[in-house]
Amino acid sequence: MKKDEQLKIDELKKVIELGEKLKKDVRPDKKKLEILISRQNKNSQNNTSSSINIEKASDNKKNSNSSNIIYSIKSVYTSNNQIIIDFNVDIDKNDIKFFELNQTSLYKDVFDINGYFKDAIPTKLDINGLDKITLGQFKPNVLRIVLSDKKAISSSISINKRQIIITVNNLPSNKIKEPILDKKIEEITPIKEVKNPTNDFIDEKNSIRLITTEDNKIIVKFNKNYSKNNIKFRAFKQNGNYENIFDIDGKYKYIVPLKLNILGIDKIVSTQNGNNLVRIRLTNKVNSKINYSLNQRELIITVNTPTDTAVKTTPQRIINKIIVIDAGHGGDDVGAVGPNKKYEKVINLNVSKYLYTILKQRGYKVFLTRNNDRFIKVMNRTILANEKNADIFISIHTNAVPKEKAHEVAGIETFFLSPARSERAKRVAALENKSDIREMSSSSKDVFLESLNRPRITASHKLAIDVQAGILQSARTKYKDVGDSGVREGPFWVLVGAQMPSILVELGYISHPEESRRLYNKEYQQLLANGIANGVDSYFLKNP
């Protein structure tokens, strides 16, 4: 009986919490909660003695300590030249031991950290300039991190209440940032505005290193010295438009997902013409003055446009459209697992970062709910979108089915929030929802799903259709057999709190042998991101 009462109280608290987030009238629920708590307290006073209470408190304390020991390390990840270890319990300097193992041709810094990290095996750490980082559960209550390099390693340790930061100091290529102190475990940290969000599109293999826009200029960077003989420029008028074309010798790996945008220019198209020629074509209804300068390894194309023309030709979406991208799962929640222990959380984050970069290049204001391998509660993921007054919210995920069906089921699908009508939608929603609301009853979920905002559902449906079409078109430029699983409705909890059109994209099935291989391919991830961006463009053109 006591268990039933406590279950009702816990469930009612969750209903009230979610109701307040959705700005619903929860006063009747609060009155019910008061009655239940009052009744429970009364029964507790009549049926329990102080000795039993002391015994229970002692047991609870033991259980709490045991739980903390088992799951004391929350996450381990790298940021620039630092390894960051987050804990679920308070720590001090006695919880970490350090020693060196210097061999003839190899130097090692060894850190033994008190605690258990359940994801020690799948977690891979890497710092540029350091040969190797090994992570392993050395003992049941000791995590060992080993830094290995051919040269002597200079490292330092800083300790906060629930965080250890190991900094590698002798890496000249890395800029040391301030340590990330653990302020709130569930705090959502959006990506900050960065001057150059295009680092993911640097081509170190071919002659052209990077093509991007900055301060109304097109910047082309090279991996070798260029001269004017490597660049041809021509300008002419055709079909009422002014055309300015740059033919640049060389190859650029990321020409497919690249989209350039400059205020005052109607259209910029970049293509790879043959194996050794990149063409950048600027098309405009107004004759703009185009200048360019070449400095060995950098070409800068400058566009001088009259002020009034720039205002007229600037798409409205560039001025005021805000997009929040959510990379599903993260941290301890790895999501679905594919062949060879491939994790959904990795694919989701990679595609989200590519999408962030592409949308920024096109002029949108973009935020990420997470930009590293960390977990954020499902209910908290839309908080950032609401705070930023976002126009749309996109949650990125990867699908999966049991092993017996792994070879049969593949394809891309896009969901929008609505009570599920099909068993397929229910299955996918259950898979994505389980990280946060597995303890809630179906009746609690239905309370909110029944009160959904219909106009917002309609807008979300339109967004889902455009994004699904965009992804398929982009993905099929490389793989003609990419399956279309369609646009579906489902009860995804990550979308419930969003006060704007919101969708959940399933990029494919990580459980499928062939699709899993594609999903882990960098070029395919960029194609998927580009397709989502094209769908966003299409949606805003029709729904300004």
The rounded percent of the chain whose pLDDT value lies above 90 is 29
Which two three-digit tokens encode residue 527? 């194609």
Which pLDDT value is given to residue 79? Answer: 82
The DSSP output letter for 380 is: G
DSSP sequence for 450-506: TT--HHHHHHHHHHHHHHHHHHHHHHTTT-TT--EEEEEEE--HHHHT-SS-EEEEE
Which pLDDT value is given to residue 503? Answer: 94
**Strands laid side by side in the 365-368 sheet:** 365-368, 322-327, 392-399, 502-509, 412-417, 484-490
Which pLDDT value is given to residue 264? Answer: 67
Which pLDDT value is given to residue 45? Answer: 54
Rounded CA-CA distance 296/212 in Å is 17
DSSP sequence for 165-191: EEEE---TTSPPPPP---S-TT---PP
Question: Is residue 30 within a helix (H) or strand (E), and if so which, with residue range?
Answer: helix 27-47
The DSSP output letter for 333 is: B
Rounded CA-CA distance 400/413 in Å is 12
- Residue whose entry in the numeric block shows the structure tokens 């999408």: 355
367 neighbors 190 (Cβ within 8 angstroms): yes
Which two three-digit tokens encode residue 486? 């369609």
Query: Residues of the chain whose pLDDT is less than 50?
Result: 1, 48-70, 173-198, 306-314, 316-317, 422, 424-426, 428-429, 431-441, 443-444, 447-451
Question: Is residue 82 within a helix (H) or strand (E), and if so which, with residue range?
Answer: strand 82-87
Q: 72-100 pLDDT, tens per residue?
A: 888 898 888 889 999 888 888 888 988 87
Which pLDDT value is given to residue 72? Answer: 84
Which pLDDT value is given to residue 121? Answer: 77
Judge if pTM exceeds 0.75: no
- Report long-range pairs for 452-455 (Cβ below 8 Å, ≥24 apart): 452/417, 452/418, 452/419
Question: Is residue 234 within a helix (H) or strand (E), and if so which, with residue range?
Answer: strand 231-238
